Structure 1
Amino acid sequence: MINQVKKFLPPLLGLSLLLNTHSQMYAQSLEEQTVLAALALNIVRFTTWPDEAQTRIKESIDFCVIGDNVVQESFTSINNKVVGNKTLQIVNLSRLRNFEDCHVLYISELKQNILLQVFVDINKHPLLTIGQGYDFAAQGGMVGLENVDGKITLHVNLPVVHESNLNISARLLKLAKIIGE
């Protein structure tokens, strides 16, 4: 009996270690994504939509999220938060369509060719786009969030913001690296 236990003990310990490592990585990823969600909420708070878009924003600001389960779960932390006199509503998108129902679009990890097509589809619409990294903003997104050594850097593509008739507060722009001036 003891020999049988000894035989199965190393694989069980290995499996236990693997599952523990996976759960730690998941928790770290969820924590990082939750921080990005909170930053995205503050970006929304410092953004103003044009008058014609304001009429579409009735009681809630529809904040659409494209991403995996970790990303979508992290954004539940900001669901129903108050932004001015409106409530933020998180909408998890499983398909890349119906962007006209969104006021904010957070995009995580799309292939470059698909991301570029999304930017073409929403070009000049008053839709605030937020994603991860400098490349997101450089390729046509409005705000890219980049984690460098534990500090988040904001990259704002000002020409794209202006083409969409959105206005990002100068207070927020002072904290950002501006692209395309």
Structure 2
Amino acid sequence: MLAVLACQLAALAGVAVRAEQAMPEQQVKAAYILNFTRYASWPAPALADPHAPLVVCMVGAGAADMARQLQKRAAGSHPLEPRIVSRMEETDPCHAVYLALPERSRQSAWLTRMREQAILTIGDSASFLADGGMINMLLVDGSIRFEVNLTAAKHSGVGLNPRMLALAERVVGGDAK
């Protein structure tokens, strides 16, 4: 199963340029988010039931489009349950949160609130990892790539598959290999 997921993420990373030409950016980002959830693991208290929905919350620009892309998808045996949220308090049931916030102060506040929780945090701003986010999507030579803050992931209890880390542009707080 891990080999299949590794191939999916590798294929996604390798064809990002072609995918972006054929699909809007929000669809490509939604595909990455789907694969990030497939490569993450949560501690038992956060996701104890092997068939429980995995709640993916979206905040900010493009949230509705991305949520639509994630409907009827699954991460392993967990059906994804995409939600659009607008307040920090709404992240309590979330297993993953995508933040597309234009103001760094708001982004930092959201990440600080989630820091002690087993929530996979995903964003797309230059300061995302520095503010304590786990996975940051960035545009490199016309394609979407990602970087990882392994320290933030370990601190929250969320595990990230080493195969995903090997595909990252950059891993801070740990070794990608």
Summarize the alignment of residues 1-181 of structure 1 with structure 2, pairs less than 5 Å apart: 31-55=24-48, 59-68=52-61, 70-176=62-168, 177-181=170-174
Whether the aligned pair in 2 keeps the contact of 1:136 and 1:144 (CA below 8 Å) is yes
Higher relative contact order, structure no. (Cα contacts within 8 Å, ≥ 6 residues apart): 2
1:157 alignment partner AA: N
Identical counterparts, % of pairs: 28
1:172 alignment partner AA: M
* Larger Rg over CA atoms: 1
Q: 1:8 aligns to what?
A: none
The alignment's C-alpha RMSD in Å is: 1.9
Change in Cα spacing, 1:32 to 1:58, as seen in structure 2 (3 Å) is same
Deviation of 1:41 (Å): 0.5
Unaligned runs of 5+ in 1: 1-27
Q: Aligned to 2:35, what secondary structure does the other structure show?
A: helix
Give deviations 1:32-83, integer Å, cap 9, x for gaps. 0110110011010000001111227752111000013x33213311212021
More helix by share: 1
1:33 alignment partner AA: Q
Unaligned runs of 5+ in 2: 1-20
Whether the aligned pair in 2 keeps the contact of 1:133 and 1:145 (CA below 8 Å) is yes
Q: Aligned to 1:101, what secondary structure does the other structure show?
A: coil
TM-score (norm 2): 0.79
What is the CA–CA distance in structure 1 between the aligned matches of 2:80 and 2:136, rounded to whole Å?
20
